[in-house]
Amino acid sequence: MGANGKRKLGCCCWFFIIVLTFAVVAAVVITITMIKYANTHPNAPPVPGPPGAITQKYADALKTATQFFDVQKSGKLVNNKISWRGDSALKDGSEEDVDLSKGDPEADHKCWQKPESMTEARPVTQLNTSSPGTEVAAEMAAALASASLVFKKINSTYSDLLLKHAGQLFTFANTYRRSYIVSIPEVQTYYNSTGYGDELLWAASWLYHATKDKSYLKFVLGEDGKKFGNFGNPTWFSWDNKLAGAQVLLSRAYWFDAREFSDDEDHGLTMYVQTAEAVMCGLLPKSPSATSSRTDGGLIWVSEWNALQHPVASAFLAIVYSDYMLTAQIGYIECNFKTYTAADLRDFAKSQADYVLGDNPMKMSYLVGYGDKYPEYVHHRGASIPADAKTGCKGFKWLESTEPNPNVAVGAMVGGPFRNETYIDSRNNSKQGEPTTYNSAIIVGLLSGLLTTSNHNVKKHAGTKGAESVQSIDVSNKMEILIKKSTESQALDLGDIIVDTCMLERHFKTEERNENVTEKRGVQQKRTASAHVESLITEVSASSGSNVLTYNSSSLSTKELEGMHGLLTGGGLAGDDFNSNSNGVVVRPVIDASVIPVNYEDGETKEEPKPNHGVGEAVNLQVPDSSDVANVSSREELHTFYEQNQDSARSVSNVRDLKSMSSHSIPQKESLSLLLDSLHKSEVSVQTPNHSSGSVSLEVTLPPAHYKDGSSSKGKYYSKGGEHPRSMVKEISSQTNGRLASTKHDPPKYLSTYNRLLRDGRLAACIELLQSMELKGLLDMDKIYHVKFFNICKSQKAVKEAFCFAKLIGNPTLSTFNMLLSVCASSQDSEGAFQVLELVKEAGLRADCKLYTTLISTCAKSGKVDTMFKVFHDMVNAGVEPNLHTYGSLIDGCARAGQVAKAFGAYGILRSKNVKPDRVVFNALISACGQSGAVDRAFDVLAEMKAEPTPVDPDHITVGALIKTCTKAGQFDRGLEVYKMISQYKIKGTPEVYTLAVSNCSQTGNMEFALNVYKDMTRNGVIPDEMFLSALIDVAGHAGKIDVAFGIVQKARAQGIQLGNITYGSLMGACSNAKDWQKALELYEDVKSIKLCPTVSMLNALVNALCDGDQLHKAVEVLAEMKKAGVSPNIITYSILLVGSEKKDDQEVGFMLYYQAKKEGIVPNIIMCKCLIGMCLRRFQKAYSLGEHVVSFKSGKPGVDSKWTSLALSVYRETIVSGVIPTMELLSLVLGCLQFPHDTSLRVKLIENLGVNTDPSKFTNLKSLIEGFGEYDPRSFSLLEEAASLGIVAFVSFKKSPIVVDVRKMQIHIVEVYLLTILKGLKHRLAAGAKLPNINIVLPVEKTQVLTSKEEKTIKLAGRVGQRVGALLRRLGIRYQGSESNGKIKINGLSLKRWLQPKIVSAINGKPQDLNSSEMSLGKRIKDQQRDIRMSNLST
């Protein structure tokens, strides 16, 4: 366009308005106007005639909604209707010599200003071959194609131009496939795309609709359709996902263009129809497959952000689909065996629209300007700032203002309510209060569809032709005015135009309805015949004993009868799969006669009176008289049978199998439910007698009915024409979910059954069915959608079924194995992944980079790092060049395993191969550092990112990984510095990164910083999730600010944020940290009042708070409530309770809890054992301090005899047996229970027990002769040796001299027993004649400051352990050198020898004698005897 000819389109670019107009008109009108093949059968569902009365509220709402487009205009405004709007963005696109409106999400979110005040640079971003954006190009292609239909009959030249550009855009989108978020990554944070496949199908569908060019149909039915169609899985229609829209649009082609399609095309489109129908079934609230994503008020609710997008878009699709059904005469759709009409879909659409317009719990209209109450604080810059205000970029005071918007953004549809149906009218609440143009587009479409009533009761030809002709002229004139306005740059009033579009719709429908269309192929003829049979049923005779179902066939032609015969006999209905001994019923058509021949089971033929109705009349099917089969017992049994086998009831007149349907049969379906159920296991055969009457008899044989009392009745029921039962292949009868399919010689029926099973996720049944087809030679895997099956396998982690499916594929490609491998990867099945690699080799294929990379990723997720690198080396050796994703998977695997060195090794290989790392690789490296707390190395990676030739800026993942690294390393302040990068790099962030930042504050209790993070998050428009709130509450708990924690929860509630166990669990933890058991109990009652099922962690926090507050018995009561509520206490629960028991020194409760935990299969841990043994030790010490006898000499040797010691040893032993390694503290406690009391009377008894005469006043201490040296039960030495074998203490070594014993890290009782063990060992060595070494003992000391007259000095004091060691040696009578306060003492070997050889009174001469000398003399004599024996000298 030349400079002189360049024309400003104004208002958010005129091009946008034209495209928007095209889209609305095309989506609302054109997609339901080009109707073909309307059946003229008098009983078919009516095609709407002229529009009914306009529903005023929808007309008013529509007029309001369209005004928002005026509000959103930019550029040079012409005929401006919004007083507070003016010219804006006049220079947008000027640098590229184009006129457009452009928004920069990064720049826009930094500013809060009127569009008229924008002065910042707004550079153009473009998509081209080097920087494509498939979604954008395909979406524009769809818009232009739909718009071309609007202008087709009004301005064909312009229509052709639009269509030409639509085709070019589609070619560009399809040729250069890349998501726009890859080409323009900065938009990902704001408008992230989930993929471009749906947009390609959407565009191709519109182009086929506009051109009827089969190349576009081939696209949606070919590999791309299989890849992107997601068949059988309903999706939500939204700006990001067009699949549901494409499926509905292609359903239109299936119903209206039937004669244009081949069998394969027809089958391919069926996949779209089935999925579209699944979408509709999910939307209908009473459908068995209805989505649970609804509020209590009935609103579809999918997302907290912009909640109304999905329900309004869903309602729009429903209203379009309902019109398709009416025009194509589709009586109903079936949802898990229940039927729903077009009226049901329309009612659903109305319910969603009414909710938006004020019929909701808030009694508020979410359409601004409509109704008496609507949002006043809409998140809209222009509306929030007074028209005369002078603001720059930083007009945030208007954002924060508490006053309502000075300007009303009429027509804006806000985001909508939270799941609990609350709405917070706050300008800062962008999640709920932000309007969008795509929201406006769908509400305008929905209101347009609801504007007039669908006149279901209007007969098709009742004097409407003339009226419709007048209307068509009127509408054509209005469309010409629209085009004229658009080309003259005049302002468009969409409200005035769309109100009249229904007249255009009716005009086109009338034209198409009058066309006489011949049904295609014999299959369609059979479907038509079936519909005729269904419509011609008359009644069941009320006569007692009647076994005939009659219908009038006078209106059937011979050809139609032949079609019926083919339908009834060709589907395998009569076969040998049935029991030939069953009772029979014959059904015959009635030619014009006064009586009806009836064949009874005994072969007798009788004549019954003709039903009282005229020839050709259709009458309702009547239930047999109660005098026959409708007795009480049989009726009860029939209902019971039906309920137990309800899945087996299915009408042959299914929307998937029949494109023409009789609507009058729908009310009859319910009355036929018992009849049809009875026929499912019947024998059915068809007889066509060769006589002129053309009589056709349908013979149905029923099995005997069995009743609850054990009796049987040969009840006969009647088959309704067109809804006869179908036979089932024996091999799959148990796998078809009750759907009766004639599959014996009909592969499409197998495929239909397969698709239903797959839709239900029944993979094993699918495999069995396909294997059955393979055995019969019917399997063609090219007609099976492989991607869908593998995707469901991935979601179910069904590796086995995926392998079975792959085996059925005759010529698998590398793509097949890649899909199979992806299933293994999702299941983390590395063994299966390697089997895939072997299959690839067996198939003679060469594994590609994708396959190797997926295999590496599988190993990474399975934690098999070494195997992962082996695969990598095999890949390189095979000559397959790794790509960036390969190295990313390697580094990710190393990061998961915390192997930093290997992660950087993989990174080094990447660099050596000149592969340019991206942000994902750098983030994985930082994450690897975070696993091991390698902070400095993580920051080196950050520096390297910045040093790249094209610097790689950090994103929220980078920041989060760095914060996590700092937190793990304990460098909390550094983590807070990292957080500032969010502001530095203008990162919006996600809840996860803010959660990590707040968690970093938890350890230090930095509440101020955490609250600042919360403010930043809100300012950046990021809505906090439950994990963030939980982390914030945790900080408050560590800071001891319990009131702040409760305030956070109250604020979140007020904002309508859904809070669950995570948040309340953290709040309970905060109460526990604050030791506020009263608050904890109040919170517990609050949780119960809102009927939130508490988690075990929440209740553990409550129990901990109660135990800390000395409320042990209340805590035990909570334990009982846990079990009643179905919450299983865990080892933490019992650990907390046992700590509380020890704190209260309540041994009875403690052991009760211990035995209860064991009963519930909980293995005792160190904490539990420590508490129990600690309580036992205290009671043991108290017992001997009170003079109780705790030492026994029953075995002749001294030993501790106390029930408390026995309990302690029992708990300790059970702990070790269960595999728990005791700690030094636990060992010390149990040794304490084996210590002898230090009293004189016990010492005397111990010496007396030796049986030696001694004078205590004259001779030295004799403790060296006593077992355990008079200090500990001998069992203590065994416990210490066991502890040494478990690695708890070091083994005692006698090889070195001197023996050095370092007891600085030992517990008191361990130190004492350890020293006694050394003495015991040296005693044996001395007896063997060894020389005793010196013993050096290293003791812990304590330092303290002492103020003298001159200065302050530091002195050393003996620690508690040192004091106990000194006391022990003094009690034993062992002399030592050094001082405990110096930390070292020495025992001389010679002194030790004397101690070990005490003097005793000789029994012979009464003189003191060394015990050791007598022992040595005895030893000498023994050695002499041994020598004599060896030398055979036996004389001595």
- Catalytic (active-site) positions: 379
**Phi/psi zone of residue 694: left (φ > 0), alpha (ψ -120 to 50 degrees), beta?**
left
335 backbone dihedrals φ, ψ, rounded to 5°: -120, 100
* Pairing label, strands 1299-1302, 1335-1338: parallel
Tokens for 1000, please give them: 């970093």
Q: How far is CA 123 from CA 89, 117, 126, 1131, in A?
A: 11, 17, 10, 61
440, 413 Cβ separation under 8 angstroms:
yes
The whole-angstrom separation of Cα 1289 and Cα 764 is 57
DSSP state of 659: S
> What are the contacts of 394-402 at 24+ separation with CB within 8 A?
394/111, 394/112, 394/113, 395/111, 395/112, 395/113, 395/114, 395/117, 396/112, 398/112, 399/112, 399/427, 399/428, 400/427, 400/428, 401/427
Tokens for 77, please give them: 């405004």
The set of residues, in sequence order, having a beta carbon less than 8 Å from that of 1194 and lying 6+ positions away, is: 1201
The set of residues, in sequence order, having a beta carbon less than 8 Å from that of 632 and lying 6+ positions away, is: none
Q: Is 501 exposed, middle or buried (0-12, 13-18, 19+ CB in 10 A)?
A: buried
289, 336 Cβ separation under 8 angstroms:
yes
Tokens for 374, please give them: 């609507």
The total of other beta-carbon atoms located within 10 Å of residue 721's CB is 25
The residue ranges of DSSP E strands in 1281-1332, in sequence order, are 1299-1302
Tokens for 1087, please give them: 């949780």
| Alpha carbon distance, N-terminus to C-terminus of the chain | 136
> What are the contacts of 175-179 at 24+ separation with CB within 8 A?
176/129, 176/132, 176/134, 177/132, 177/134, 178/132, 178/133, 178/134, 179/133, 179/134, 179/135
The whole-angstrom separation of Cα 937 and Cα 931 is 12
Apex 874 CA angle, 870 and 879, nearest 5: 150
DSSP state of 696: -
Q: How far is CA 112 from CA 108, 382, 390, 400, 428, in A?
A: 8, 9, 12, 10, 12
530, 653 Cβ separation under 8 angstroms:
yes
Which secondary-structure segment (H or E) carries 1071?
A: helix 1061-1073
DSSP state of 672: T
Tell me the DSSP string of 1168-1230. Answer: HHHHHHHHHHHHHHHHHHTT---EE-TTSS-EE--HHHHHHHHHHHHHHHTTPPPPHHHHHHH
Name the percent of the chain in helix, strand, coil, to the closest 5: 55, 5, 40
Look at residue 1301 and give its three-state secondary structure. strand
Tokens for 963, please give them: 């914060």
88, 116 Cβ separation under 8 angstroms:
yes
> According to the 3-state scheme, what is the secondary structure of 535-577?
HCEEEECCCCCCCCEEEECCCCCHHHHHHHHHHHHHCCCCCCC
722, 664 Cβ separation under 8 angstroms:
no
Look at the chain and count its residues. Answer: 1436
- By C-alpha distance, which of 128, 937, 32 is closest to 452? 32
